[in-house]
Amino acid sequence: MQDEIKNLEELLSRANEAYHAKDAPIMPDDEYDALVRRLRELGGDVTWIGAAAAFSPVAHDVPLMSLQDVFSIDELRAFLTVETEYCVEPKIDGLSVALRYEKGKLILAATRGDGHTGEDVTHNANVVSDIPKTIPNLPGVLTVRGEVYMPREVFAKLNKERDELGQPPFANPRNAAAGSFRQKDASVTAGRGLSFIAFNIQTMEGHPWPKTHHETLELLKQWGFQANSYTLASSHEDIAREIERIGTERNGYPFDTDGAVVKVDDLSLRETMGVTSRVPKWAAAYKYPPERKETVVRDIQIQVGRTGVLTPKALLDPVSLSGSTVQYATLHNKDMIAQKDIRVGDTVWVQKAGEIIPEVVSVLKEKRPPDAVPFEFPQVCPECGGAVVSAEGEVAVRCTAGDCPAQLIRRLIHYASRDAMDIEGLGTATSQQIPLSSLDGLYRLTEQDLLQLEGFAEKSAQNLLSAIETSKQRGLARLLFGLGIRHVGQKAAQTLAQTFGSMDAIMAASEEGLTDVPDVGPVIARSLRLFLDAEQALISALSDAGVDMTCEIKKGDGSWAGMTFVLTGTLETMTRAEAEAVITERGGKAAGSVSKKTDFVIAGEKAGSKLDKAHTLGVKVITEQEFKEMFA
């Protein structure tokens, strides 16, 4: 028993570090939960299990307790024995966060951590659009608990982009949300499209408490929160029907969910029922079993991404899973392969993480072929033979060769993408055929070069060459983004271009000087400085090829100089980036949050808390049409 406890503690320690500190889990959530339950059954210490320290610690005024998991209606009936009205809600699989407001102002956001102590992530909460920053007419103290999550559509788009660029995919929406929200650099968080749903009031002073839980959810909605949906049920039969309904409809929710939460609705009865040392006695979480299928691993393949990361994936016998045919499954990293001991020829259980990304859950070792051998992760890059390294603090293994053809292909795909240099006709298939040794070689291609490639005739070759020539005039912001610098997204690239005006000025800037730029934190500044120092020859070659490396700010009549605009909601006739470009071209500033210094808030469809704050502060709110009339 002591040996098993020791082994479990060592395994959970590694899994805990990978999950919380590195946001790169080495096992599925349900497997992790099962190991924790087993350790608890054996009498092992589980109090240490929680987030690894990366931010300032925050002690919760009211513990953020976990819920008792149940896996059948009979288990639920045995746990919730009181005859009363219950509130049944979808269980949101995100990152649990507590928000503290004083006199209506958000002053603190903290992760759950171990339930008693979390991490201070206030700087990131301030860039999540549907977390209210102010609550009008709230005189006292309010603490709200909820989940930060990544919407399914955002998750699918993000992983598609990462796959196209050869970056390792996020394991599931929950992990993507955690990794995005627990960033030292808030500008990274701001670009990840996170959302927040409130599901409980922890503390409240200066406002009368409602009598029931569902009334607190309605109150949260009045205060501008997106609150969890609910159904009231007064019998176990009603609860079972609602759990079944949520299970049937869960793939249609915008967030990932692995269960339903059942809570006593009467708040005074909750006080009477009390809590155990771990969980409240008045609530339970019903967990749905994930759909799993059995199949065989035929190969383990390694993909080399734009930044050199080696990402493993399993080639499977095709299997139908959650409405689609699955032939590949992510293996995430070398640690996960080793921990699960996945081998070519193994029969495995597969499921879709977050109902989206296929993953190998476990190996059926009793069906393992006698000739199956442990998988050896490459010691050199499988594409170029270059050396690979695993940096301290990273799970990822990277190819260090600057001339790795696989990296170059991924860089070229990104460079030619619509949001970067927008080279029409230069997609994945063509990028894989073009024989280049560096990006600047793109501008030395000839018609004869292209005619040697599959699928090219005279007209298509001329069209691509024309598109390549046109890309030279995209400007500094899109070039910076197109170069694929780690952590430098579109917004940071645009801000850098508007601030410095030329690549020469950015090249001359120190790391400290870069950090002073809005939307550019220390992580981005460090990454940018390393890239510029390492790629001076490339930047010089692109400049010699005629690529525009300047940013001309068109101020028009100068009437917007010194004015600050904030966008909220969805615009109908232009993208947010296009609207921000209009503002900056006329000398204005496109800010991310509303303050007393804001001149205009441009409100589109489904405008959120920024609109509320504008009304509170008396900031002028205009429609998209009124905004267009200003620059017509």
CA distance 50 to 17: 9
The DSSP H or E segment spanning 41 is helix 29-41
511-515 long-range CB contacts below 8 Å, 24 or more apart? Answer: none
Distance CA 554, CA 138 (A): 44
Contact 62, 104 (CB under 8 A): no
> Among positive and negative, which fits the CA dihedral 39, 45, 50, 51?
negative
| Contact predicate 108/99, CB 8 Å | yes
The strand pair at 398-399 and 564-568 is best described as unpaired
Contact 28/19 with Cβ under 8 angstroms? no
- CA dist 595 and 521 (Å) reads 21
447, HSE (Cβ side, Cα atoms, 13 Å): 8
* Calpha distance 419→193 (Å, rounded): 17
Task: Please name the amino acid found at residue 328.
Answer: Y
Residue indicated by tokens 């990304």: 357
Pairing state between β 68-70 and 357-363: unpaired
SS (H, E, C) 387-431: EEECCCCCCCCEECCCCCHHHHHHHHHHHCCCCCCCCCCCCHHHH
What is the rounded radius of gyration, in angstroms, for the C-alpha atoms of the chain?
27
Angular region, 393: left φ>0, alpha ψ -120 to 50, beta rest? left
Retrieve residue 239's tokens.
Answer: 């609860």
Say which residue the tokens 């109902």 belong to.
355
Say if strands 231-233 and 257-264 run parallel, antiparallel, or are unpaired. Answer: unpaired
Q: Pick from 322, 319, 332, 316: which is nearest to 354 by CA? A: 322
* Positions marked active-site: 91
Q: Is the dihedral of CA 288, 234, 207, 62 positive or negative?
A: negative
CB of 131 closer than 8 Å to CB of 108:
no
Between CA 303 and CA 229 the distance in angstroms is 41
Q: How many CB atoms lie within 10 A of CB 52?
A: 14
Q: Is 496 helix (H, G, I), strand (E, B) or coil?
A: helix
Q: What angle do CA 278, 282, 287 make, to 5 degrees?
A: 75
Q: Which two tokens stand for residue 231?
A: 């159904």
Cα 332 to Cα 300: distance, rounded to the nearest angstrom: 12
